[in-house]
């Protein structure tokens, strides 16, 4: 099922969707799945299941650190299928976010088939632009999967048109020029980018990069169809003294963010 359906339901409640990112495999595969369940129980609508990768050029220090530790702990690509199954069963949308090489190595068509079979909704591809995505677009279409490509403040009108034309599910608008990580302010450039993106598509536009608090979620939620939070959630786990404490902090932040998106338009 496309995550667009979930975003539509949120829109019917007059609120943006809350999208929460966690990498699979940190602190362990089971631990990460437990954390994803906490996100869903705390009001996250769509879980972005991250594939830890050795060379994450779009990620800041928090997600890099979690990826390094997850890989050291022995996570494998196939663990995301388990996570997708669990997230989907918990009632949230299960989107996988991955750099391209792991999918290429696994086999694009085989990956799409296995992801669909696991109940995954589709892929967010931070280093795959539609121009290079012929094989993925074909496989995603064959298996009824979402294709979430990114747009950025630097995107020209031509790029916005070309990229959004290939998206399904939603369009991922990166709020700032830069890598993942919490920021003090995310507002203005994101607002402008969402407006510019809407000139080219009727798809939902979700905003990510930099959001870490309920107030920021409310602010971004005023103009975006969905608010994406990553590093701030991951940090709850990487900075915790114990797994239990990490889940507690994670739940508290997710509830704050869920509250933020619910007061975005009031």
Partner 1 sequence: MTTSQAPAHGRFGDFGGRYVPEALIPALEQLEEVWRKAVVDPEFVGELERLQRTYTGRPSIITEVPRFAEHCGGARVILKREDLNHTGSHKINNVLGQALLTKRMGKRRVIAETGAGQHGVATATAAALLGLECVVYMGRKDTERQALNVARMRLLGATVVPVDNGSKTLKDAVNEAFRDWVANVSTTHYVLGTVTGPHPFPEMVRDFHRVIGVEARQQVLDLVGRLPDAVLACVGGGSNAIGIFHRFIDDPSVRLIGFEAGGEGVATGKHAARFSAGIPGVLHGAFTYVMQDEDGQTVESHSVSAGLDYPSVGPEHAHLLDSGRAEYRPVSDDEAMEAFSLLSRTEGILPAIESAHALAGAMKVGRELGPDAVLLVNLSGRGDKDVHTAAEWFGLIADDGTPRLPDDAGAKGKGEQQ
Assess 199 for contact with partner 1 (CB under 8 A): no
Residue closer to partner 1 by CB (options 92, 133) is: 133
Are the beta carbons of 19 and 227 closer than 8 angstroms?
Answer: yes
The number of C-alpha atoms within 13 Å of 7 and in the hemisphere containing its C-beta is 26
Does 77 help bind partner 1 (rule: CB under 8 A)?
yes
151 is an interface residue for partner 1 by CB under 8 A: yes
Decide: 160 and 194 in contact? Cβ < 8 Å: no
**Separation CA 191–CA 169 (nearest Å):** 20
By the rule CB under 8 A, 129 interacts with partner 1 = yes
Q: Determine, following the binding rule CB under 8 A, whether residue 100 of this chain makes contact with partner 1.
A: yes
User: For partner 1, which residue of 57, 89, 138, 142 counts as binding (CB under 8 A)?
Assistant: 57
Give the closest residue to 239 by CA, choosing from 60, 62, 34. Answer: 62
135 binds partner 1 (CB under 8 A): yes
Is 141 among the residues known to form the active site? no
Strand order in the sheet with 226-229: 146-148, 122-124, 93-97, 46-50, 17-23, 226-229, 205-208, 171-174, 150-151
Q: Which of 62, 92, 103, 247 binds partner 1 (CB under 8 A)?
A: 103
Catalytic status, residue 239: no
List active site positions: 48, 59
**Binding positions for partner 1, rule: CB under 8 A:** 53-58, 60, 64, 68, 71, 76-77, 100-106, 126-129, 131-132, 134-135, 149-156, 159, 163, 174, 177-179
């Amino acid at each position: 099922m496309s995550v667009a359906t979930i975003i539509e339901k949120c829109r019917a409640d007059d609120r943006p969707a809350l999208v929460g990112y966690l990498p699979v495999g940190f602190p362990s595969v089971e631990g990460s799945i437990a954390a994803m369940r906490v996100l869903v129980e705390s009001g996250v609508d769509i879980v972005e299941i991250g594939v830890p990768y050795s060379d994450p050029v779009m990620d800041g220090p928090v997600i890099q650190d979690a990826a390094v530790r997850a890989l050291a702990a022995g996570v494998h690509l196939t663990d995301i299928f388990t996570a997708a199954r669990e997230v989907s069963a918990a009632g949230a949308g299960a989107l996988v976010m991955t750099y391209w090489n792991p999918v290429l190595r696994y086999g694009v068509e085989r990956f799409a088939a296995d992801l669909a079979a696991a109940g995954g909704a589709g892929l967010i591809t931070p280093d795959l632009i539609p121009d290079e995505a012929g094989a993925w677009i074909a496989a995603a279409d064959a298996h009824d999967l979402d294709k979430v490509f990114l747009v950025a403040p630097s995107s020209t009108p031509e790029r916005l048109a070309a990229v959004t034309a290939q998206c399904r599910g939603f369009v991922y608008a990166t709020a700032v020029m830069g890598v993942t990580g919490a920021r003090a302010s995310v507002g203005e450039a994101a607002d402008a980018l969402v407006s510019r993106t809407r000139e080219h598509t009727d798809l939902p536009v979700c905003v990510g990069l930099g959001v870490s608090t309920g107030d920021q979620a409310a602010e971004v939620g005023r103009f975006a169809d969905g608010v994406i939070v990553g590093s701030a959630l991951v940090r709850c786990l990487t900075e915790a003294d114990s797994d239990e404490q990490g889940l507690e902090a994670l739940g508290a932040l997710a509830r704050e963010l869920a509250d933020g998106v619910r007061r975005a338009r009031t």
